[in-house]
Amino acid sequence: MDRLIKCPVLAVAFCSFGVALGASSQSDTKITLTMPATNAALALKKLGAAAHVQLLTSPQTAKDVVCFQFKDVPLSGAMSRIADVVHGTWKREGSAYRLIRTSSQQNAETRIEFNETVALVRKSIQKRANELNRMRQWSETESEALASDVKSLINTFKPNGDNRDWSRKGDELSAHTPIGRALTKVVAALDPVELASLPQRMKAVWSSNPTPMQKPFPSEIAQIADDFVKAQADWANSIDKHQIKAPTVGGGIYYVGGLGLFRDNPGGNVSVILLTVNSQGPNYGFYCELTAFDAKGMQIAKATEVLGASGDDGKAPHAASAPMDEEKIEVDADVLALIANRSTTPGRTKNLAGSLIGKITRPEEFEPLSIFLSPKLIQAANIKKLNMVADLTDDMFTTDVYKTTKETSVDEFLRKDVGSAGTAELKGGWLTVRPKRPSECRSRQANRTALGKFLRKWLTGRPLSLDDLAAFAASLPESYDNQMPTCMSGFLRRESYDEYDPNMLRFYGLLTPDQKSAMANGGLACSSLGAAELELVNRMVYQVQSQIGYVPPKGLPGQQDQAYLDLIRSELMREPTECLPTGVPPQGLITLGTTNSNVVFVSIADTDVAINGTSGYTLSAADLGRMKFYQDRPDLFPRAIRLNLNRFLFGRQVNMNFTFQFTPSVMMIQTLDDTNLDDFRTMTLDDLPDDFKKQLQESYNHYVQRYANTKPGQLNGGDSGPPL
């Protein structure tokens, strides 16, 4: 019968392997082995070879990324530490041992992480409730005092200065408004367990008058709404009395923190109150927004709050220890160059070691965490004279890249760098590193084979085909969940690869030729979509950044249907659960229109890249006109990306326009572009077709007029982002 050798879940403990491995010292041989970060399957194979014992992984543990350093450690102790750090169990199979993670261990991890989320939400609710209790009770006098404080704050606004502290003070004052106080009371009435159960990045909506897609408020909210309505009348009078208006600069209106623009209808009668909650994912908490609307759907007041974010648990953040007389952890010069290239240099450059680029683009062979975090962990163990074992995650990779400097003390590294996404413990001669939320981290790990295929495509510098984009969107985690692909792509090229909605790319990748043909010839009914396709449409419609919009119903030229006018004027109807209250309608129609447009592919100036379709941007005539103006006016735009406008590629780009017509007035439009540089020709500005040059010049003239009266320095350094 198979023998299970168990390690306690989520606790530091030793498992006795003396009997399992044999009582003799020869069986439990002492191991001296350093293993940089790699997948558990390979790490255990090498450990087993060193000890002449077969060590295997299971499907649950094979992709775990581990790193260890053992110096004269009995094999039983090494195996015990590895099982403990990955929350696993050794199962004996004849003369071999397999590292598994039982269902009870996995369930325990999930349960603990869920309970931690609930606890974070409870603590942040209590924190806001305590702040509310310290406020003076609402009254006309309090309303006047708040209006006076807000007016004083607005008077300190600096049109050309740094207003971050000013905006922060506005956020603080917003909590004192009637809607701010109401939000605190409303979230306190919600169940933290229900919030913790919400799917990530999909809104949950509670309403005082719910549609089938919304949740009803708990009964105790009714009194909160009544109190808000009464207090809002006082606040509306104070806004009017003190003539409070948001500051404007050049026609733009600046939000006064959470207080908004003061252009709402603050004295309107409240008809509907909505609370929307968005689970933003691990570490980022739950974004809550309470909004009151009048009978016409116009916004009266709004307040926002983030609950349960990492660091909002009442504990002080990890701080660096006092300087110690110890060796510093040093970072390889090639790695520092790699980070510098990602941070400051557009395009590919000559100063990166070819061997390092080879490793970056082959993560299935060279584990990314072996380049960054694990060398520092090995140094830390050597400096502290400790054995070390670590379970590493993609989150740790990203935080380490962002925090890497030339050198740092061991204590600072363990407390701040490792402590951002994990926990480091020094005890009993061991340095042990674990992820904070191991189950969640494993679920969003980037597949190394898919990541390698993507990075090698990306290294060429050429625009990825639409089929490539769709395939990578399906095979790689979203940047919200895992920033490793985005981070690693930035080592190779500065441009972004995720400019499209990943749900739309996945949707496109699932479409069959027959479905695309139907869309292009009259339309495809939503009822014809498969379950996976419909789920992606639901995400695009009801996710946080919904893509829905409105179009006027067909009628006589020049006529506007009153119902349509009421619809587009209603801020309430911009909420998808209001305008599509029963879900995506089966009779909705998806149509596809395909056009071609002329574009140029422009390389980044001052790089080692020739005009061969690498490291650059695909620009329309309007984009090219804008970028040419930027480069002609470095006094206004000193940080703008410099492009090679003397020689570039010119050709046709395929533009695909998907229209999701859900009702006569409610729709969603998604666009995808496909570029094949093999069909492009090398040109100069003078070679461009006349109509393209005309559009370019019109765009250029537009920016000349727009910035005619702008003085150097007024744009805070100018546009530094990509010209897309």
Q: What is the pLDDT of residues 221-253, one digit of tens each?
A: 878 888 888 898 888 889 888 888 888 876 677
- Domain closes at, from 249, 282, 307: 307
With respect to residue 131, please indicate whether it lies within any of the assigned structural domains.
yes
> Does a structural domain hold residue 291?
yes
Place of tokens 């709404």: 225
Supply the pLDDT for residue 64.
Answer: 96
Which pLDDT belongs to residue 590? Answer: 97
In a domain, 670, yes or no: yes
The Cα 199–Cα 533 span in angstroms is: 18
- Beta strands 299-307; 286-293: pairing state: antiparallel
Judge whether residue 580 has pLDDT over 90. yes
pLDDT surpasses 70 at 272? yes
3-state secondary structure of 103: helix
| pLDDT for position 712 | 83
Q: How many Å apart are CA 560 and CA 70, to the nearest integer? A: 77
Do 119 and 212 belong to one domain? yes
pLDDT at 134 over 50: yes
* Extended strands (E) in 529-647: 548-550, 589-603, 616-619
Of 596, 346, 552, nearest in space to 461 by CA? 346
Tens of pLDDT, residue by residue over 483-538, are: 999 889 888 876 777 778 889 999 999 999 999 999 999 999 999 999 999 999 99
Same domain, residue pair 87 and 174? no
Considering the domain architecture, whether residues 80 and 209 belong to the same structural domain is answered as no
pLDDT for residue 595: 94
Q: Which of 253, 286, 307 is the endpoint of a domain?
A: 307
Report the pLDDT value the prediction gives residue 101, as an integer from 0 to 100. Answer: 95
Q: What is the pLDDT of residue 244?
A: 86
| Residue 488 maps to a domain | no
Q: Say whether pLDDT at 318 is over 50.
A: no
Which of 138-147, 318-327, 624-633, 670-679 has the weakest average pLDDT?
318-327
> How confident is the model at residue 34, as a pLDDT?
96
> CB-side exposure of 94: number of CA atoms within 13 Å?
5
Same domain (yes/no): 156, 303: yes
pLDDT at 469: 92
Q: How far apart are CA 214 and CA 208, in angstroms?
A: 10
Same domain, 641 and 689: yes
pLDDT tens digits for range 180-208: 999 998 888 888 999 899 888 778 999 98
482 found inside a domain? no
Better-predicted residue by pLDDT, 684 or 261: 684
Same domain, 163 and 39: no
Say what the pLDDT of residue 353 is.
Answer: 61
Q: What per-residue confidence (pLDDT) applies to 566?
A: 67
Mean pLDDT in residue range 300-325: 60
- pLDDT of 3: 42
What per-residue confidence (pLDDT) applies to 84?
Answer: 96
Task: For residues 448-455, give the mean pLDDT.
Answer: 95
State the amino acid at position 300 in one-letter form: I
CA distances from 213 to 389, 581, 713 (A): 48, 5, 49
Range of the domain at 277: 108-307
Residue 713 CA neighbour count, 13 Å, CB half? 3
Residue 117 sits in the same domain as residue 93 = no
Question: Mean pLDDT of all residues in the chain?
Answer: 84
What is the total count of domains within the chain? 3
- What pLDDT score does 265 carry? 61
Task: Give the domain-ending residue among 101, 129, 144.
Answer: 101
Let me know whether 91 and 121 are in one domain: no
Does the residue 263 lie in any domain? yes
**pLDDT above 60: residue 683:** yes
* Cβ neighbours of residue 252 closer than 8 Å, sequence gap 6 or more: none
Q: Which of 544, 475, 460, 479 is nearest to 509 (CA)?
A: 475
Q: Report the percentage of the chain scoring pLDDT > 90.
A: 48
Highest mean predicted confidence (pLDDT) among 245-259, 274-288, 383-397: 383-397
Full-prediction pTM beyond 0.75? Answer: yes
pLDDT at residue 311, as a whole number: 57
| Tokens, residue 291 | 């909004």
SS3 131: helix
Shared domain for 65 and 113, answered yes or no, is: no
Residue 610's pLDDT band (boundaries 50, 70, 90)? very low
Write down the pLDDT at residue 16: 40
Identify whether 406 is part of a domain.
Answer: no
Same domain, 73 and 212: no
Claim to verify: residue 158 and residue 63 sit in the same structural domain: no
Residue 289 lies in a domain: yes
Answer whether residue 643 shows pLDDT above 90.
Answer: no
Distant-in-sequence, close-in-space partners of 129: CB < 8 Å, separation ≥ 6: 184, 188
Highest mean pLDDT pick, 209-213, 280-284, 312-316: 209-213
Could you tell me if 425 and 431 are in contact, meaning their C-beta atoms sit under 8 angstroms apart?
yes
Mean pLDDT of 646-658: 92
Residues 298 and 187 in one domain: yes
